[in-house]
């Protein structure tokens, strides 16, 4: 790059939003990414870091000089800083912590005392608090001391002398009521606080059901600790969607689309290995009926049809069950109703499509025995697929394993094994 181009690029970058710069960086191969990163003005750098996926961010900061990293850390939000600092080597981490102000360091330690994925880790400490026994006039005077309020402030948190959360004074109310009114007359006590150990998934559901822009986070004694804002919720939803999509293909949602080849190959290979076991299980089932297949070669031709129909039907039930679990729609009260319903759908669609497949098989091989056997195998496999599509995610969920990751592999194993076994087994029994 020539100097003139670099100057133009820097001008362009300085007018972009940090989120946009992050998008551009993520859409670049690693080498170009590092070159561009070096050109980003320091003032934008720290916020840009918070928009990047873990893997991309870590690759960039590893090369930053310590003083630049410290400068960036000071500008970061505490929860982003906590996420980042955990990944850094101990000496770098120490030197950053030594350079932070006492106040930020205290917030950082609070944040790090909570597990990743909890309200305590997600919250930020930038809360403006007021007491309930003052008038709106006092509140307004107090706000005038501030140059600006933190982003996503839809209200002030009302606490008592002991720091116990009492409710929220919405800015809406503050702006539409008389100055003599007391805070306690106006504050919304139905604005519940979020306990610090609440999971991200529950936090997202909480915000979706309410009309809050921000909510207080409290400890077990109802002490106000910080607040969570709607942009955190958007981040949670995006991550959850990413996680569901990526893990269905055995991928890590933090993985970098533009990572070096060797790293990417390594990340993908485990999933291929797991699938290989499944594939050989299916092959082993076919191997048991090798003699039958040798005698009636039409079976080898048709067997993928039986397995794949089961796989498709099962994945539909599986997907609906996984979504139902994520939205808390499935409970012990309706599981048996659902299972019965899905099996019934399996029987109905099994009967319809087994008739079609039997017809095509007859036209192809002119053998009524093969047609009857494949029809029976498809009905059996679609029933098994429905049952597995409900049972697998429910069992994994109960065991605390994420069904979005491993559900599909286990399901395919079931539908492959049941499909090949029923088709070739029935053929061995009735057609030989």
Which residues inside 56-115 make contact with a copy of itself, applying CB under 8 A?
none
Q: Does 52 bind a copy of itself (CB under 8 A)?
A: no
Shortest separation between residue 97's beta carbon and a copy of itself, angstroms: 28
Q: How many amino acids of this chain bind a copy of itself (CB under 8 A)?
A: 115
Distance, CA of 189 to CA of 170 (rounded, Å): 11
Which of 230, 254, 369, 406 is in the footprint of a copy of itself by CB under 8 A? 230
Which residues inside 163-222 make contact with a copy of itself, applying CB under 8 A?
171-178, 207-211, 213
Shortest separation between residue 192's beta carbon and a copy of itself, angstroms: 10
Which residues inside 279-308 make contact with a copy of itself, applying CB under 8 A?
279-280, 282-283, 286-287, 290-291, 293-294, 297-298, 300-305, 307-308
Q: Does 366 bind a copy of itself (CB under 8 A)?
A: no
Shortest separation between residue 257's beta carbon and a copy of itself, angstroms: 5
Which of 94, 151, 164, 359 is in the footprint of a copy of itself by CB under 8 A? 151
Helix axes 42-51, 54-61, angle to 10 degrees: 150
Please give the structure tokens belonging to residue 28.
């670049």
String marking each residue 152-171 x if it binds a copy of itself according to CB under 8 A: xxx----------------x
Among the residue ranges 2-10, 84-92, 99-107, 275-283, the one whose residues contact a copy of itself (CB under 8 A): 275-283
Return all residues near 198 (Cβ < 8 A) that are at least 6 apart.
Answer: 118, 119, 206
Collapsing DSSP to helix, strand or coil, 55 comes out as helix
Alpha helices in 248-367 (DSSP H): 261-288, 290-295, 298-326, 335-365
Which of 13, 36, 143, 431 is in the footprint of a copy of itself by CB under 8 A? 143
Distance, CA of 105 to CA of 196 (rounded, Å): 19
Distance, CA of 218 to CA of 114 (rounded, Å): 13
Distance, CA of 218 to CA of 225 (rounded, Å): 5
Which of 98, 103, 148, 180 is in the footprint of a copy of itself by CB under 8 A? 148
Q: Does 406 bind a copy of itself (CB under 8 A)?
A: no
Shortest separation between residue 357's beta carbon and a copy of itself, angstroms: 7
Shortest separation between residue 95's beta carbon and a copy of itself, angstroms: 30
Q: Does 20 bind a copy of itself (CB under 8 A)?
A: yes
Q: Does 118 bind a copy of itself (CB under 8 A)?
A: no
Which of 38, 245, 368, 401 is in the footprint of a copy of itself by CB under 8 A? 245
Collapsing DSSP to helix, strand or coil, 223 comes out as strand
Which of 11, 146, 220, 363 is in the footprint of a copy of itself by CB under 8 A? 146
Three state DSSP letters for 227-261? EEEHHHHHHHHHHHHHHHHHHCCCCCCCCCCCCCH
Burial tier of 101 (Cβ tally within 10 Å: 0-12, 13-18, 19+): exposed
Contact of 155 with 170, CB cutoff 8 Å: yes
Beta bridge pairs of residue 195? 218
Closest CA to 159 of 141, 127, 132, 188: 132
Distance, CA of 240 to CA of 32 (rounded, Å): 29
Among the residue ranges 59-67, 90-98, 116-124, 233-241, the one whose residues contact a copy of itself (CB under 8 A): 233-241
Shortest separation between residue 176's beta carbon and a copy of itself, angstroms: 5
Q: Does 418 bind a copy of itself (CB under 8 A)?
A: no
Which of 182, 344, 355, 368 is in the footprint of a copy of itself by CB under 8 A? 344
Closest CA to 121 of 77, 88, 62: 77
């Amino acid at each position: 790059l020539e100097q003139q181009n670099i100057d133009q690029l820097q001008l362009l970058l300085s007018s972009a939003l940090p989120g946009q710069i992050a998008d551009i960086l993520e859409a670049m191969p690693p080498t170009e990414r590092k070159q561009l990163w070096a050109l980003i003005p320091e003032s934008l750098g720290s916020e840009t870091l918070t928009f990047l996926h873990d893997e991309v961010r870590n690759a960039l900061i590893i090369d930053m000089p310590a003083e630049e990293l410290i400068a960036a850390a000071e500008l970061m939000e505490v929860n982003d800083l906590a996420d980042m600092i955990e990944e850094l080597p101990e000496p770098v981490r120490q030197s950053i912590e030594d350079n932070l102000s006492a106040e930020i360091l205290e917030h950082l330690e609070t944040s790090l005392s909570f597990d990743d994925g909890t309200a305590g880790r997600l919250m930020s400490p930038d809360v403006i608090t007021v007491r309930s026994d003052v008038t709106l006039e006092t509140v307004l005077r107090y706000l005038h001391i501030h140059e600006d309020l933190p982003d996503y402030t839809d209200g002030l948190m009302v606490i008592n002398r002991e720091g116990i959360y009492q409710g929220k004074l919405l800015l809406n109310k503050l702006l539409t009521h008389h100055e003599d009114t007391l805070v306690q007359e106006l504050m919304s006590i139905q604005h519940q606080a979020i306990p610090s150990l609440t999971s991200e998934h529950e936090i997202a559901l909480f915000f979706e059901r309410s009309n809050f822009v921000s909510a207080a986070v409290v400890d077990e004694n109802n002490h106000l600790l910080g607040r969570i804002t709607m942009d955190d919720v958007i981040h949670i939803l995006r991550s959850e969607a990413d996680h569901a999509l990526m893990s269905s293909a055995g991928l890590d949602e933090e993985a970098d689309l533009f990572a070096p080849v060797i790293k990417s190959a390594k990340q993908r290979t485990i999933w291929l290995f797991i699938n290989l076991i499944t594939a050989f299980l299916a092959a082993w089932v076919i191997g048991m009926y090798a003699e039958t297949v040798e005698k009636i070669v039409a079976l080898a031709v048709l067997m993928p049809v039986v397995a794949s129909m089961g796989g498709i039907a099962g994945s539909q039930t599986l997907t609906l069950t996984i979504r139902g679990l994520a939205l808390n729609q499935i409970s012990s009260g309706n599981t048996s109703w659902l299972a019965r319903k899905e099996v019934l759908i399996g029987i109905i669609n099994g009967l319809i499509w087994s008739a079609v497949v039997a017809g095509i098989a007859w036209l192809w091989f002119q053998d009524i025995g093969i047609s009857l056997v494949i029809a029976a195998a498809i009905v059996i496999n679609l029933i098994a697929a429905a049952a597995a599509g409900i049972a697998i995610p429910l069992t994994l969920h109960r065991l605390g394993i994420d069904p979005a990751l491993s559900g599909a592999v286990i399901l395919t194993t079931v539908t492959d094994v049941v499909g090949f076994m029923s088709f070739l087994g029935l053929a061995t029994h009735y057609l030989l």
